[in-house]
Amino acid sequence: MSEQISPSVTIIGSRGYPSYYGGFETLVRKLAPYLAEHGWRVTVYGREQLAGDRRDEAHPGVKTTVTWGMDSKSLSTLTYGLSASVDAARRKPDVALVLNVANGFYLPMLKLRGVPTLVNVDGIEWERDKWGRAARALFRAGARCTAAAADALILDSAAIAQQWSRDFGRSGYFIPYGGEQLDDVTPPLGLARRGYVLMVARLVPENSVGAFLEAAREISRRWPVVVVGSSGYGGAFEQELTDLTSEQQDIRWLGHVSDDNLLFALWNNAGAYFHGHSVGGTNPALVQAMHCGAPTVARETVYNREVLDECGLYVEPVAAGITSRIFQLMDNSEQQEKLARLARDRAARTYGWNSVMESYRLALDDVQANCRRVRWSHV
């Protein structure tokens, strides 16, 4: 009797493994070893500059493959996605998990080679302010290609699922992001518990960064303000933060933080966490902030309402409103602790990594099995 060969899965569209860059990288950092421990042969495609990132943390059952690409704001995803897809098509894994609709252009190539595809569509990239008209059109075209060619989709929120059903006639697996529960820890960096205001975000317009930085000038007169994040490519917001931190305001800009212990401690001890993201579904940073018990003021969007529900305060993305809401929360310790407790409880019920990882595994099993049956039915 021949020995059964473990199924193989290729992951395309992240910056690599293990990496701490953003939401997709956190997902891959959790999912890749989980799949390896559940009998899958796992390959993660990445970018050369991150290939050695925290190699001591890598799971021995996860293979990493570096491909070529152009490191620029508009071309990185497309070029690295192309080279990874070409290599994956050549190697023919049993199934490919593809991240981001920008890689939808390459799904027909994988399909031609008989590689089933499961695509996490992420947010609505063509609505992001950071992209120009040409880039938005390109992401929209990538979404159309994804809708036409993907064997199955992962949709991380009900609102995203509704938009894909309306605009592209596609449904998919609902799988949100996960997070890790955190007990209370000592405040970092000499900060006082519940005594500072925090923003964690990529420094791009759709994350309400401009409005928050304007509000921070006033907020910092009463409480320290801590900003975590970067644009990845420099720009006006980074220059504004450089100027602010050199002035008299009590504002600290930490840049990109890859140390989870520090980041989680900042969320855990903040008096108010501002979450200004406007585009996308279940945001990984918001989910982790909830697990850490961060009292949250969130931009008013359907996505943030879906994730937070009654566990946060909401505000329009204007400086005066942000300032007022944050003052309200910072002046009310009882409300801070209530929101922190509610957020932790909701995150534990809805956004745990174990259920998220198992959902991915079952979806990959389904896609592989369904496509195998289709191939056999045409033999």
For the chain, the average pLDDT equals: 90
Per cent of the chain over pLDDT 70 is 93
Give the confidence band of 1 by pLDDT, cuts at 50, 70, 90.
very low
Give this prediction's pTM. Answer: 0.88
The pLDDT value given to residue 372: 59
HEC profile of the chain: CCCCCCCEEEEECCCCCCCCCCHHHHHHHHHHHHHHHCCCEEEEEEEHHHCCCCHHHCCCCEEEEEECCCCCCCCHHHHHHHHHHHHHHHHCCCEEEEECHHHHHHHHHHHHCCCCEEEECCCCHHHCCCCCHHHHHHHHHHHHHHHHHCCEEEECCHHHHHHHHHHHCCCCEECCCCECCCCCCCCCCCCCCCCCEEEECCCCHHHCHHHHHHHHHHHCCCCCEEEECCCCCCCHHHHHHHHHHHCCCCEEEEECCCCHHHHHHHHHHCCEEEECCCCCCCCHHHHHHHHCCCCEEEECCHHHHHHHCCCEEEECCCHHHHHHHHHHHHCCHHHHHHHHHHHHHHHHHHCEHHHHHHHHHHHHHHHHHHHHHHHHHCC
Give the confidence band of 56 by pLDDT, cuts at 50, 70, 90.
low
Query: Tens digit of pLDDT for each residue in 305-319?
Result: 999 999 999 999 999
- Residue 377: pLDDT above 50? no
Between residues 9 and 376, the one the model is more confident about: 9
Query: Tens digit of pLDDT for each residue in 82-128?
Result: 999 999 999 999 999 999 999 999 999 999 999 999 999 987 776 77
Q: List, in order of start, the domains of the chain with CATH numbers.
A: 8-178+353-377 (3.40.50.2000), 197-350 (3.40.50.2000)
Give the confidence band of 300 by pLDDT, cuts at 50, 70, 90.
very high
Give the confidence band of 2 by pLDDT, cuts at 50, 70, 90.
very low
The pLDDT value given to residue 50: 55
Poorest-pLDDT segment among 63-72, 85-94, 333-342: 63-72
